[in-house]
Amino acid sequence: MSLLNFESITKLVSESSEKKHKQELFKEVMLMVLARATRADSNVEKVEIDQVREVLKDKTGEEFSKADILTAASSAAFETRSLERYLSSATRKLTENERVIILASLATVIRSDDEVRYFELDFFDKVALALKATPSEIAGLIVGS
């Protein structure tokens, strides 16, 4: 009888890999959504970039440079595939809590320059719909919190 159960090891490795992939997906979605929010009204302000950096650091534990954010905001990926389509495919792998964090973070960034504009509201609505967020998720209400 073997001392090692390779099936258990394989399962642990694949679960670890899947968890890491999900964490990376969450970071990527956060970066893309928040960076794009800075351009929603075509008026990128320093305070918005600073707020995005702060929120990303707080929610993902990773620091992003101003250049990272500006690059993500104008990413060529969205020239061939819309943000809505990108989010629709990503949302299947995000948890309810992650969707709530994304939407709350987006609201924080939108409010950062003290003036909410129509294009920012439209952007928020598009993100919420693409994430298939429920009204309770949009309000930040999750079970057990």
Name the more confident of 145 and 112.
112
The confidence score (pLDDT) of residue 80 equals 52
Q: Which two tokens stand for residue 15?
A: 């679960």
Per-residue pLDDT reduced to its tens digit, 102-142: 999 999 999 998 889 999 999 999 999 999 999 998 888 87
Return the domain boundaries, the chain: 9-139
How far is Cα 96 from Cα 13, in angstroms, rounded to an integer? Answer: 25
* CA dist., res. 75 & res. 7, Å (int): 41
Query: Left (φ > 0), alpha (ψ -120 to 50) or beta: where does 29 sit?
Result: alpha
Would the pTM of this model clear 0.85, i.e. be above it?
no
Q: CA 95, CA 119: separation in Å to the nearest integer?
A: 27
CATH dotted code for 9-139: 1.10.3680
